[in-house]
Amino acid sequence: MSHEPTQPESVGDEDAGFRFVPPPRFAAARQGARFLLSSDEDPGVLIVAPHDAPDAAALAARLAEGWIEEHIELRPASPPVRDTDGVLVELAGRVREGEARALALGALRRGGGGVLVLALVTVAHWDQRRYDAFARMIVRSLRWADGTAPDADPLAPLREWLTGRVLVRIGTPAAAGVFATWGARQELRLGPGGRFESVGLLGAAGRRATGRWRLLREAGGAALELYDDDGGVAHVRVEAGEEGTFLDGQRFYVGE
């Protein structure tokens, strides 16, 4: 007798306004407007709760305040970033009397509001990749009461294209704007964790810098914001198409 693998059952209802599929081995319990997920094999807890943030900027601002409630005090370990699954932030702090780490991922629905997923565990059991995967499994399985998925991110294709790439340009720096301080070799590596490494940015020619990057919508297109660990900020217009990839009108070669 063959046994067909069964599809995991979704959790949620009309009152919650959404449904989702728990990660393998996790069981969900309703607690008011939220769901608590726990596992006999994986330590920690996953919290799935609705939010009423009207857009990504408001959701990022909310996550930047941390996650504070009875017995839980978590603060951002780094600024929130927007990626293909929503708004993401890593958190650190305390739960009851112990040190803890967490990851919060917020999904948006068209018109505002959405769902927050918090993956929370003690420091001793923290595994960023594992709990990041759990949070993304939940967000990617979300369906609202009307049957739709979370609001699509219009920048997702461009963000996916840039993530993990190295952008290089060799030539004379521009006379004005962000590129006025870049050396003859201009290089920017955009890491998958929202981190960047650059050569010649935000300072003297040839200076190496590291920091965080994010992609933003702006009138008529997209902009790349680079936050230098030493405090500098660059705001660069981004265009990518059949003719190539351009930063503030300067064409860059793109590599892995």
CATH of the domain at 128: 3.40.1000.10
If asked whether residues 29 and 131 sit together in one domain, one would say yes
Of 27-36, 151-160, 218-227, minimum mean pLDDT range: 151-160
96 or 153: which leads in pLDDT: 96
Structural domain span for residue 215: 156-255
In a domain, residue 5? The reply is no
d(CA 96, CA 166) in angstroms, rounded, equals: 43
CB neighbourhood size of 70 (10 A): 6
In a domain, residue 62? The reply is yes
In a domain, residue 161? The reply is yes
pTM over 0.75: no
DSSP letter string over 125-183? G--HHHHHHHHHHHHHH-EETTSPPSPP-TTHHHHHHHTT-EEEEESPPPSSSGGGG--
d(CA 153, CA 42) in angstroms, rounded, equals: 31
If asked whether residues 163 and 108 sit together in one domain, one would say no
pLDDT score recorded for residue 36: 94
Q: How many helices (H) and strands (E) does the chain have?
A: 3, 20
* Residue 178 burial class via C-beta count within 10 angstroms: exposed 0-12, middle 13-18, buried 19 and up: buried
Cα angle 165, 89, 20 (rounded to 5 degrees) comes to: 100
- Tokens 């063959």 sit on residue: 2
In the 8-state DSSP scheme, what is residue 123? G
**Cβ neighbours of residue 44 closer than 8 Å, sequence gap 6 or more:** 119, 120, 121, 122, 125, 131
**CATH code where residue 180 lies:** 2.40.128
Q: Look at the chain and report how many structural domains it folds into.
A: 2
If asked whether residues 111 and 47 sit together in one domain, one would say yes
Q: By percentage, how much of the chain surpasses pLDDT 70?
A: 84
d(CA 19, CA 147) in angstroms, rounded, equals: 9
Domain stop point among 123, 144, 165: 144
pLDDT score recorded for residue 4: 37
Q: What's the average model confidence in pLDDT over 93-114?
A: 88
Domain stop point among 86, 119, 144: 144
pLDDT, tens only, 44-76: 899 999 999 988 889 999 999 999 988 889 999
pLDDT, tens only, 197-253: 988 666 666 778 888 888 877 766 888 888 888 777 778 888 887 778 888 887 888
If asked whether residues 164 and 237 sit together in one domain, one would say yes
Q: What percent of the residues of the chain are helix, what percent strand, and what percent coil, each to the nearest 5?
A: 15, 50, 40
pLDDT score recorded for residue 74: 93
